Every structure is written in C-alpha cells, then in structure tokens.
Amino acid sequence: MRNLNKIMKNKKFKKILIFRLGAIGDVVHTTALFRSLKRYDSAMEIHYVTFKMPSLIIENDPDLEKVWVLEGKTYKHLINLAKNLRREKFDVFINLQPSIKTKIFSLILGAKKTLTYKKTFKLHAVENFWRTAKPLFKDIILYKEIKIYLQDEAREKAKNLIQTDKKLIGFNMGVSSVRQGRKWPIEYWKELAGNIIDKYNCQIVLTGSNEDAEEAKILADISKNIISFCGKLSLTESAALIERCELLISGDTGPIHIATAVGTKTIGLYGAAPVSRTGPFGNNNFALNSNLDCIPCNKRKCKFLKKNELCTPCLLKLTPDKILDVINENSLLN
C-alpha cells in the first residue's frame, strides 16, 4: 500500500519549473537539486528560468527539458514570461529566488504546488537549494556533486587555445565589486605565480572578464609562462579552459564553482563569506580563510577597511605561502 501511495503521489507532479536568476555560482549550485529530482523520478520534465548569462552553463544539460531566459529585470519582463509559461501547465514551481516579484510570477504561473527557498547559513548552498524540494518529495536523495555539461565547440576552442605539455594552472583574479572581502592583492598573485612556476614548471592561464584584463596584464608580464584570456572568451569557453586545468585558484566567485562542476581541483580564497555555505563543493576542493575573530562577517563593507583600500585584513592574512602549503600537503600538482 505504501508503494502504491508513492506511485500515485508521483503521478501528480511530473512537470517542474525551477526559478533562479543568478549569480552564476548560485545556478551551478542548483544543479544538484534538479539532478536529484531526475533520479528520484526519471519521468519528470524539468524546466528552468534564469538570466541569459547563467543560462549558458545549463542550456546543454541532459536533465533539463528546457531553459527559459528572462530577458530583463523589470516587472514587465517577468509578467510576460509568466503568462507565456502559464500555458505549460506546470505541476510544481520551485522558487529559489523569493521576492515580491517572484510571488507575482508564481500567481500568474498558476502551478498546482509552489515550493519556496529559505536561505540559511547553517547549510552549504547546494544542500540548502536541494532541501527546498523536500516538503513535496520527501524521499529525494541529494546528488552529492555539482556538474555542468559543456558544448563540444567550447571544448574544441579551449583545446586549441594553448598547445603545451605542461600542466595548466588557472588563476581567477576577478571578483564582484558588490562585496568587499573577496579581492586578493595583485602582489600576492605575482608572488604565488612565481613560486608555482619555479617549483612545478607549469603554465598559468588567467580567466576573467574585460574588467580584469588590465590587472591580468600586470601578472602576465612577469613570465612567458603566464597567459591572460581575460575578456577574450565566452562563459562556456572559459569553463572549458578551466576544465583543462589541473587546478584553479580563485576568490569567492562563479568560476570556482564552475571548476568544481567540471571536475577541476580548486583552492578558494575566502574573506568575509562563510566557507561552510559558499566554499567549493565536493572532493579535491579546498577553501582558505583567515583566523580573525570577525570571520565570517558576511558583510558587504568591512569596518576595518580604510578609504581607497581594496583588500580587507582577512584576505591580507591569506599569504601566498599558505596556498603553497595546501598544494604541497595535498599533492595537488604532483
């Protein structure tokens, strides 16, 4: 009887819509949720709504029926998409970005059931997103890895970008300027690069956007074994380049989560953010933070940061030798 009840219950909820607009790292973290749902019931038809940029990293995913792109942030864009999606007659709406706007979206969408995400710092974001589905799918089991599927074209371009027999080490220097406590000083990057090249005879590749290009050039100028691709690649091409790397070293930003999702080992440099929530997920991934009493404060502005200073005391405490110790102690480049 119990199995029959479960089968009858599953028949009610076959068409799911997941809603998470960004940032990129957040969308990567939600992949464990929809993969868990698909393994719970392979007959589920799962759709996803997000912005254009993060859509690029999930549009090729075999566990998603369709990725819908929200073209703008206004109420008009949201309402028009909701009206369009209403025709799909979703059984369940999983709202991973609760707000007044998304409540309106939910009302227009008219799904039979709505599940709403509740953020907590007691769990890693991957598990936090996954638990949103638990009230309705009580027997769902967490898929304990995050994974993205890249297009063959992106992989082929990344393969042709650099021809070398040396191991590739990725540096992602750029971080969002919205929050302080994420930026590692350029002097530290230079020292770390020099030490890694001297000891391991590897090739360092720099990933990032146009905004990171000027600082990346400073680093690339110190050695022929450092090449900058900042601002030169699309998001999926950058992901494919990261996939080629033996190791990615990065601040608390999207590319570090992309790295874990393509199977590249990572070292995350964390300041204000709680590692237990946003640190790199899975095995062969490491997150470093300082031992200051105020960490993790998770605040947008640091009360100890002086005017015109960019790097917070918590990140200044993470000296290059600490990163080298992690590499050596865990044989990450052997």
pLDDT at 8: 44
Residue 168, classed as helix, strand or coil, is strand
Residue from 140, 191, 216, 175 nearest 300 by CA: 175
Q: What amino acid is encoded at 106 in this protein?
A: S
Cβ proximity of 257 and 280 under 8 Å: yes
In residues, how long is the chain?
Answer: 334
Cβ proximity of 281 and 146 under 8 Å: yes
Q: Could you tell me the fold of the domain covering 2-131?
A: Rossmann fold (3.40.50)
Give whole-number Cα distances, 154 to 36, 71, 244, in Å: 27, 24, 11
What distance in Å separates the CA atoms of residue 117 and residue 96, rounded to the nearest whole number?
A: 5
Q: What amino acid is encoded at 118 in this protein?
A: K
What distance in Å separates the CA atoms of residue 315 and residue 24, rounded to the nearest whole number?
A: 23
What distance in Å separates the CA atoms of residue 267 and residue 289, rounded to the nearest whole number?
A: 11
Q: pLDDT tens digits for 20-59?
A: 997 899 999 999 999 999 999 999 999 999 999 999 999 9
What distance in Å separates the CA atoms of residue 328 and residue 334, rounded to the nearest whole number?
A: 8
Cβ proximity of 37 and 13 under 8 Å: no
Cβ proximity of 279 and 289 under 8 Å: no
Cβ proximity of 53 and 60 under 8 Å: no
Note the maximum CA span of the chain: 70
Task: Give residue 163's Cα distance to chain centre.
Answer: 27
So where are the chain's domains? Answer: 2-131, 152-329
Q: Could you tell me the fold of the domain covering 152-329?
A: Rossmann fold (3.40.50)
Asked if residue 98 has a cis previous peptide bond (ω within 30° of 0), the answer is no
Is the pTM value of this prediction over 0.75? yes
* pLDDT tens series, the chain, 334 aa: 455 445 444 558 999 999 999 789 999 999 999 999 999 999 999 999 999 999 999 999 999 999 999 999 999 999 999 999 999 999 999 999 999 999 999 999 999 999 999 999 999 999 999 999 999 999 999 998 999 999 999 999 999 999 899 999 999 998 766 666 678 999 999 999 999 999 998 999 999 999 999 999 999 999 999 999 999 999 999 999 999 999 999 998 999 999 999 999 999 999 888 899 999 998 889 999 988 888 888 888 888 877 777 788 888 999 999 999 999 999 999 8
- Please determine whether the domains at 2-131 and 152-329 fall in the same fold group of CATH: yes
CA dihedral 254, 280, 206, 243 (to 10 degrees): -90
Q: What amino acid is encoded at 29 in this protein?
A: H
Listed in sequence order, the residues at least 6 apart from 317 whose beta carbon sits closer than 8 Å to its beta carbon are 290, 291, 292
Return the sign of the alpha-carbon dihedral for residues 280, 283, 284, 288. positive
Q: pLDDT tens digits for 83-102?
A: 999 999 999 999 999 999 99
Residue from 194, 178, 331 nearest 186 by CA: 194
Cβ atoms within 10 Å, residue 168 = 22
